[in-house]
Amino acid sequence: MFGAVATLLGLAVVALFWWFPDDSIERVGERPPTSPSPNASPDGSYAITATEVLFEVRPVVDIDAGVSSSGNRPPGPLPRDFSPLIALSRVNCSLPPVSSSPSAPIVACDEAGARYVLGAVGIDNTNVESAEGLMPPGATTWVVSVTLDEKGQVALEDMTGAVVGAPAPKDRLAMVLDGEVVQAPTVNEQIFGGQLDISGDFSARTAMQLAAGLA
């Protein structure tokens, strides 16, 4: 009887391998290869945390590159009764920025302590179609490459066209993240196509995190 049972079990095993060839069976402990998670680095070595970032592009009105912090006002809305020069002298860049209306001019600081008077927002998060942290070919630093939607493309064309050839520093556009100026390049020509690169002291991780927070 036991011999008959063993024979039947043997036939069952043979039948199993006949219906399911060896290369179609997923062995215990093995997993099929998977693509990296969209919330992970390309090699999957660390997680990418998407924290929303307030992104703005504003025209530059004035700059004070001095690093004096003797003022007592935080970066933020430009008081109506202050001239830009007085406003710049009163702002202390060590204080956290105050939120402001997109349509209002502001005083903002960069990481080095330079103070900027900036005009109204022309482009913001609502105009971001996609964003990606990458290192451009031939470059040695990471950037965040931003693709704008149709409305953002038109705004970028208008903003860059308006400042080309303007007297310094009004020939610049500032890219502002959470109230801080990360770059304010001189615009030498009108920009078409809706592509912006945000540069800074970014590692691969911070560039990817910033991109995730913008998109």
Q: How far apart are alpha carbons 128 and 30 in whole angstroms?
A: 40
Residue 59 lies in a domain: yes
Residue 138 lies in a domain: yes
| Residue reference for tokens 């690093």 | 67
Residue 165 lies in a domain: yes
Residue 153 lies in a domain: yes
Structure confidence by residue, pLDDT tens digits, 53-70: 999 999 999 998 766 556
Per-residue pLDDT of the chain (215 residues; tens, 9 = 90+): 434 434 433 434 333 333 333 332 222 333 333 333 344 555 555 455 667 899 999 999 999 876 655 678 899 998 776 677 777 888 889 899 998 899 999 999 999 889 999 999 999 999 999 999 999 999 999 999 999 999 999 999 999 999 999 999 999 999 999 999 999 999 999 999 999 999 988 999 999 999 999 97
In the chain, the number of structural domains is 1
Residue 80 lies in a domain: yes
Q: Identify whether 169 is preceded by a cis peptide bond (ω within 30 of 0).
A: yes
pTM: 0.76
Residue 131 lies in a domain: yes
DSSP helix, strand, coil percent of the chain (3-state; round to 5): 25, 25, 50
Residue 96 lies in a domain: yes
For the chain, first and last CA: distance in Å? 69
pLDDT number for residue 87: 74
Give every CB contact of residue 150 below 8 A, 6+ residues apart in sequence.
Answer: 194
The DSSP line for 112-129 is T--EEEE---SEEGGGEE
Contacts of residues 63-72 at CB distance under 8 Å and 24 or more positions apart, as own/partner, are: 63/114, 63/115, 63/116, 63/117, 63/169, 63/172, 63/184, 64/88, 64/89, 64/114, 64/115, 64/116, 65/114, 66/113, 66/114, 66/115, 67/93, 67/112, 67/113, 67/114, 69/93, 69/94, 69/113
CA distances (Å), 171 to each of 76, 94, 116, 133, in order?
A: 22, 27, 13, 27
Q: What is the CATH number of the domain that holds 188?
A: 3.30.1360.200
Range of the domain at 118: 55-214
Residue 194 lies in a domain: yes
Which amino acid, 81? D
Give every CB contact of residue 162 below 8 A, 6+ residues apart in sequence.
Answer: 59
Which amino acid, 83? S
* DSSP run (H or E) holding 204: helix 204-214
